[in-house]
Amino acid sequence: MIFLTALPLFWIMISASRGGHWGAWMPSSISAFEGTCVSIPCRFDFPDELRPAVVHGVWYFNSPYPKNYPPVVFKSRTQVVHESFQGRSRLLGDLGLRNCTLLLSNLSPELGGKYYFRGDLGGYNQYTFSEHSVLDIINTPSIVVPPEVVAGTEVEVSCMVPDNCPELHPELSWLGHEGLGEPAVLGRLREDEGTWVQVSLLHFVPTREANGHRLGCQASFPNTSLQFEGYASLNVKYPPVIVEVNSSVEAIEGSHVSLLCGADSNPPPLLTWMRDGAVLQEAVAESLSLELDEVTPAEDGVYACLAENAYGQDNRTVELSVMYAPWKPTVNGTVVAVEGETVSILCSTQSNPDPIITIFKEKQILATVIYESELQLELPAVTPEDDGEYWCVAENQYGQRATAFNLSVEFAPVILLESHCAAARDTVQCLCVVKANPEPTVAFELPSRNVTVNETEREFVYSERSGLLLSSILTLRGQAQAPPRVICTSRNLYGTKSLELPFQGAHRLMWAKIGPVGAVVAFAILIAIVCYITQTRRKKNVTESPSFSAGDTPPVLFSSDFRISGAPEKYESERRLGSERRLLGLRGEPPELDLSYSHSDLGKRPTKDSYTLTEELAEYAEIRVK
C-alpha cells in the first residue's frame, strides 16, 4: 500500500528530470517593522513540457509539507487561509507569469517565521520548493558602527531600516548627534537579494570624550503614528592619559609612603611603576598604588608611572624626598702638617634637607656653612697653637651628628721661659720645659765641667711628656760650691734649640752655700756691727732706732723653702727648729728634698717661710733672755 502511494510521486520526479527542473527564488531573509507591511518577492519555475492550463500556488507558514498541515498563508484555489492571516495576506504576483510575490499587512510579532511556496499545476504536478524566506518583525532601526572607532580618526556610522512595504516608506533622523557631525541620507537602496533598505550616514571624528556616547536613529512613517528608535553606544578607542598621580612627596625616614597613579584609556592600560629603569610593580588596571614601607634615604629619588595600551602611552614622574638627619661627617684632608704649611680639611656629610656644618676647636667656631653638604677649612701657615682636637658638627631639624679629628702640627723645639735652675743646700735642680712635635731629645750641658747629661741617664734626669710639652728635671747633688752653668739643648728632625738655664733667687743662695756654721758666724759678725753702730750713735747723741726695717736687708731663702705640698705644719716646725739651731751655733740637719713633684710645681716659690734679718735677730734676742 505504501509502495502504491509513493509510486505517483516517483513518476512525477522522473518526469521533472526529463523535461526541466522545478525551482524557486526568494530572499532568504527579509525584515519589516511591526504594524507595517512587507512584500516578499518570489519567482518560480517548472519543466517546460508541463503545459498547465492554469497555475495555482500555496504559501505555507513554517513547514513545506502539506501532510503536516501547516498554516496556510495564501491559497489561490480556495482563498481559504489560516485565521492568523485572514485579511493580512494577498498575492501581488501573477502565477501564470511564474511570479509568486506575497504581501503581508498589519504585521505583528507572531507572523515572524519561515514562508514556503508550493506550485500547483494540477493533478500530480505539485511541487513544494525547499527555498524559503525568513521574515523578521522588528521594532528598532539598525545602527551600524565600525568594529573599531579610534579617537582622532574619522568614522562612518550608518542607520539602516527595511523599506519593503510598498504602501509605507520610512523617514530617518539622528538622535544625540550634536557635536559629532551632520547626517547625510543616502535614500532607498536595493540589496543583493532584492530587498530594499533606507540608509542614513553620519560622519565625524570622535574624541576620547565621545567614548560611551549614546547615538540614536529614528524611523517614522508619514501619516501614521508609527515611530521606531534605535540606539548604539560608541566604543571609542584611545591611548592612555594619566589623570591621577602624586605631586612631589616628602616623607620622614622610616615612615610609610603610598604613590598612586591612575590613567584613563580604552581599552584599560597596563600601568607600571618604575625607578631608574627597574620595574617595581605593574598591572592592567585603571589605577595602581605603589606602597613603600619604612622608607630609607636609598629610596629617595624620581619614580615614573607608565601607562600604555595598543593605541599609545603616557607617563608621569613623581619625586620622593626622604627627610633624614645628617650622617656621621667624614673628614678628608691633612691631619699631619709642618709648621708654616697650609692645611686644607674637608668635612662632608649627607642629609635631607642639607645641614648646617660647623668646624670648631675648643668651643671656638672656625668655619661654618648653611645648607651645604660639605665644608672646607683652610688654615694658612699653621702654628703649634693650631695643633689639637677639632670637631665637625652637622645638624638639621631631624638630628645632629659630629666627628672629632686631630690636627698634628710638627715643629722645631721651643724651650719655654719657665725653664730654670734652683738650689737647695747642696742640691741643684734644673727644669727644662720644651714644646715640640715630634717628641724631642733633651740634654743638659755643664760647660765649665765639660759634662753632658741626656735624658737616658735616669739617675740624674727625669722626663715627663704631656701633650706637646716635655719636662726634663736634672738633679745634681753635693753642689756646696758655686752652682755650675747649665745649658739645656733640645732637638728633633726640624731643628735644635739651646738655652742657658737661669738660677732663680741667686741672692738667696748665699746661705745655702756657707752652711749652718757659716750662718752662725755671719750672724755674730752682724750683731757686733750693730752693737758698734749703736754705741757710736749714743756718743753723738743721735737717737736711732735699735732695729732694722724690713727693707734694709733682702730676704734670705733657706733650703727649707722647698716645701712639700700638703704638709705645711710639719715644715713650719722644722723651719723654726732649724733657725734656733743656727742662732745657738748648733749643727742641725736640713730636711730631705722631695723630688716627686711634677713640673707644674716648679717655679712656685714659697714666700711666707722667708725670714728677714730683723726677724732672726729678734728670735735670737728672745732665746738669750730665756
Q: Supply φ then ψ for residue 622, to 5 degrees.
A: -65, -40
Tell me: pLDDT of 32 over 60.
yes
Above pLDDT 70, what percent of the chain?
A: 76
Tens-place pLDDT, residues 99-140: 999 999 999 999 999 999 999 888 888 888 989 999 999 999
Please tell me the distance from the alpha carbon of residue 166 to that of residue 159, in angstroms, as a whole number: 20
How confident is the model at residue 479, as a pLDDT?
A: 62
- CB-CB contact of 137 with 32 (8 Å): yes
Question: HSE (CB half, 13 Å, CA atoms) of 121?
Answer: 19
Tell me: pLDDT of 340 over 90.
yes
How confident is the model at residue 5, as a pLDDT?
A: 34
How confident is the model at residue 599, as a pLDDT?
A: 36
Burial (CB < 10 A; 0-12, 13-18, 19+), residue 388, is middle
234-248, 593-607, 609-623: range with highest mean pLDDT: 234-248
More confident position, 535 or 587: 535
The lowest-confidence range among 151-165, 373-387, 551-565 is: 551-565
Tell me: pLDDT of 607 over 70.
no
Tell me: pLDDT of 322 over 90.
yes
- CB-CB contact of 578 with 590 (8 Å): yes
Tens-place pLDDT, residues 283-298: 999 999 999 999 999 9
Q: For residues 334-348, give the mean pLDDT.
A: 91
pTM, two decimals, is: 0.58
More confident position, 460 or 230: 230
More confident position, 542 or 537: 537
Please tell me the distance from the alpha carbon of residue 195 to that of residue 183, in angstroms, as a whole number: 24
Q: For residues 328-352, give the mean pLDDT.
A: 91
Say which residues have a Cβ less than 8 Å from residue 496's Cβ, sequence separation at least 6: 412, 413, 489, 490
Say which residues have a Cβ less than 8 Å from residue 56's Cβ, sequence separation at least 6: 75, 76, 77, 95, 119, 120, 121, 122
How confident is the model at residue 375, as a pLDDT?
A: 95
Do the strands 330-333 and 343-348 form a parallel or antiparallel pair, or are they unpaired? antiparallel
Domains and CATH numbers, the chain: 23-137 (2.60.40.10), 140-234 (2.60.40.10), 240-320 (2.60.40.10), 330-410 (2.60.40.10), 416-504 (2.60.40.10)
In DSSP notation, 462-486 reads EEEEETTEEEEEEEEE---SSPPP-
The lowest-confidence range among 493-497, 521-525, 551-555 is: 551-555
Burial (CB < 10 A; 0-12, 13-18, 19+), residue 429, is buried
Q: 184-188 — which CB contacts under 8 Å span 24+ positions?
A: 188/163
The lowest-confidence range among 3-7, 121-125, 167-171, 299-303 is: 3-7
How confident is the model at residue 105, as a pLDDT?
A: 94
Q: For residues 78-106, give the mean pLDDT.
A: 91
Tell me: pLDDT of 593 over 70.
no
The lowest-confidence range among 12-16, 426-430, 522-526 is: 12-16
Q: Which residues pair with 126 in a beta bridge?
A: 120
Tell me: pLDDT of 537 over 90.
no
Q: Mean pLDDT of all residues in the chain?
A: 80
Tell me: pLDDT of 158 over 90.
yes
More confident position, 394 or 21: 394
Tell me: pLDDT of 554 over 50.
no
